Homo-oligomer: A and B are copies of this chain.
Amino acid sequence: MSYFDVASSAPLHPVARQALHASLDEGWADPARLYREGRRARILLDAAREATAEALGCRPDELVFTASGTRAVHTGIAGALAGRHRVGRHLIVSAVEHSSVLHSAEAHRHDGGTVSEVPVLRTGAVSPDAYADALRPDTALACLQSANHEVGTRQPVAAVAEACRAAGVPLLVDAAQSLAWGPVEGGWSLLTGSAHKWGGPAGVGVLAVRKGVRYAPQGPADERESGRSPGFENIPAVVAAAASLRAVRAEAAAESVRLRELTDRIRARVPELVPDVEVVGDPVTRLPHLLTFSCLYVDGETLLHELDRAGFSVSSGSSCTSSTLTPSHVLKAMGVLSEGNVRVSLPLGTTAEEVDRFLAVLPRAVAAVREKLGAPAGTAAVAVSPSGAPDVRVVDALGKRCPIPVIELAKVITEVPLGGTVRVLSDDEAARLDIPAWCEMRGQEYVGEEPAGRGTAYLVRRVAS
């Protein structure tokens, strides 16, 4: 039984557990009170703030604790936008930010603000030049994650921060995925994070706002946490968060080397062991513990169930695993295959044996799903087209969900002659991403899409045999 989804939430680090237990007796009182229980609580809170600020690379009075990473992002973006509303109401985000950032951007847009979404390269990284181009005189705030939560690609934060600094625009860095591995390099203005991602407890986020950054707290006033995070302080959890951050940082150097070897092994072996796989994300500039791949002709949800039954907990950005039936916005922005998507994020201490067992289990699991779906068998399945075959074929995949439209396409492509066309009718949102991705993987030509009576028609020309 291996939990390989630490990017969603990490199990509580033993140090966090100890610190939590120890501080339950000392940290429950109101730190604003002057009696002994309050003073003890205050001491714990101050010490936790100092330790966490040191780990983030900021001053204690620049740091407040929030109730979650999501709250830190919502709060930080709203406060920074309001603090600079006289400059303008333009917000920049990357296309692959966490949903908390994108939802804040959506709320800002709804509120009359403007938002630019900087696209990413196929690796998932923004180009610093493209980001710099988005900066405008009315830009109030720019946001960039330190590393992507779905594919692990590290963003060029230092370069983007430098461009923002030159333009006089504050940069908010969502560092939720990377704080376990080290502080964020470069001249960020605001920084957010989430303790349960680094092995701390749920219920603790961090929001750092550099001195000198214009900031106006939004919502009803509250005197706690410098007026930036309302509600009674959750001191035992904050203490546990601080202690575990220190603990994981102490292990970070050694574990990052070890886990990078393990994730490199998975990245290298999966395409050898499983046919028709695309490993996505930057192969080098990435988080050490996280990797993502997509399997052609595979239903992500079914694959996750197969892997769960085999003892592996992983997650997926496939549309069939989301409540909205749309593929992950990250994979979409990268333009990579989303069907049969699997994200593996290894906790500290993951053993090579676990990884080897995963590599042993995965091919069978993928094959089982493909067999159920009647997928084309293997990459060698491309037959010579029958002579006299029609040069346009229509695949009606209306009402069928990912990965069925791509499976039907793959079956029919061999039945048109070279130069012939397949027209796939589909009303599944994932097809828009996965049909071009399939073409790229298969060396076929993606001609484009056009509206159809129902859904959309995707046109593919057979150019490879």
Whether the pair B202, A9 counts as a contact (CB closer than 8 A) is no
A194 contact set on B, CB distance < 8 A:
232
Given the contacts A203-B237, A220-B107, A236-B201, A313 and B71 also touching, CB distance less than 8 Å? no
A321 contact set on B, CB distance < 8 A:
34
Whether the pair A100, B313 counts as a contact (CB closer than 8 A) is no
Instruction: Select from chain B the residue with minimum beta-carbon distance to A103.
Output: B220
Proximity bits, A1-33, B CB within 8 Å = 1, else 0: 101010011111000010011001100111001
Instruction: Select from chain B the residue with minimum beta-carbon distance to A304.
Output: B34
In the docked arrangement, what's the CA distance between A107 and B78, Å? 15
Instruction: Select from chain B the residue with minimum beta-carbon distance to A102.
Output: B220
Whether the pair B100, A68 counts as a contact (CB closer than 8 A) is no
A103 contact set on B, CB distance < 8 A:
220-222
Cβ of A230 < 8 Å from any Cβ of B?
yes
From 24 to 81 in chain A, residues with beta carbon under 8 angstroms from any chain B beta carbon are 24-25, 28-30, 33-38, 67-71, 74, 78
Cβ of A246 < 8 Å from any Cβ of B?
no
Given the contacts A100-B220, A220-B104, A308-B36, A231 and B68 also touching, CB distance less than 8 Å? yes
Whether the pair B69, A232 counts as a contact (CB closer than 8 A) is yes
Whether the pair A9, B29 counts as a contact (CB closer than 8 A) is yes
- In the assembled complex, the CB of A243 is this many whole angstroms from the nearest CB of chain B, namely 14
In the docked arrangement, what's the CA distance between A315 and B104, Å? 39
Cβ of A149 < 8 Å from any Cβ of B?
no
Whether the pair B33, A219 counts as a contact (CB closer than 8 A) is no
Whether the pair B12, A24 counts as a contact (CB closer than 8 A) is yes
In the docked arrangement, what's the CA distance between A9 and B10, Å? 29
Whether the pair B308, A34 counts as a contact (CB closer than 8 A) is yes
Instruction: Select from chain B the residue with minimum beta-carbon distance to A104.
Output: B220
Cβ of A301 < 8 Å from any Cβ of B?
yes
Instruction: Select from chain B the residue with minimum beta-carbon distance to A21.
Output: B21
A78 contact set on B, CB distance < 8 A:
219
Cβ of A234 < 8 Å from any Cβ of B?
yes
Cβ of A314 < 8 Å from any Cβ of B?
yes
Instruction: Select from chain B the residue with minimum beta-carbon distance to A34.
Output: B304
From 138 to 152 in chain A, residues with beta carbon under 8 angstroms from any chain B beta carbon are none
One of B11, B28, B222 near A202 (C-beta < 8 A): B28
Whether the pair A222, B100 counts as a contact (CB closer than 8 A) is yes
Whether the pair A232, B68 counts as a contact (CB closer than 8 A) is yes
Whether the pair A67, B67 counts as a contact (CB closer than 8 A) is yes
Cβ of A196 < 8 Å from any Cβ of B?
yes
Whether the pair A230, B71 counts as a contact (CB closer than 8 A) is yes
Whether the pair A12, B28 counts as a contact (CB closer than 8 A) is yes
Whether the pair A35, B106 counts as a contact (CB closer than 8 A) is no
- In the assembled complex, the CB of A219 is this many whole angstroms from the nearest CB of chain B, namely 6
- In the assembled complex, the CB of A310 is this many whole angstroms from the nearest CB of chain B, namely 11
Which of A5, A11, A231: most chain B CB closer than 10 A?
Answer: A231
One of B35, B220, B305 near A313 (C-beta < 8 A): B35
In the docked arrangement, what's the CA distance between A100 and B230, Å? 9
In the docked arrangement, what's the CA distance between A194 and B28, Å? 13
A71 contact set on B, CB distance < 8 A:
67, 230-231
A232 contact set on B, CB distance < 8 A:
9, 68-70, 194, 196, 202
Cβ of A327 < 8 Å from any Cβ of B?
no
In the docked arrangement, what's the CA distance between A11 and B23, Å? 12
Given contacts A12-B25, A35-B314, 17 further A-B contacts (CB under 8 A): A5-B30, A8-B29, A8-B33, A28-B201, A29-B313, A35-B307, A35-B308, A67-B68, A68-B230, A74-B230, A100-B230, A103-B221, A194-B232, A196-B232, A201-B234, A202-B234, A202-B236
Residue pairs across A and B with Cβ atoms less than 8 A apart, 25 shown, are A5-B35, A8-B29, A8-B33, A12-B24, A17-B24, A24-B201, A33-B313, A34-B301, A34-B304, A35-B308, A35-B312, A37-B313, A38-B313, A68-B234, A70-B222, A74-B220, A103-B221, A103-B222, A106-B220, A107-B219, A201-B236, A201-B237, A203-B203, A203-B237, A234-B237
- The 3 A-B residue pairs with the shortest CB-CB distance in the complex, in nearest-first order: A68-B231, A67-B67, A35-B313
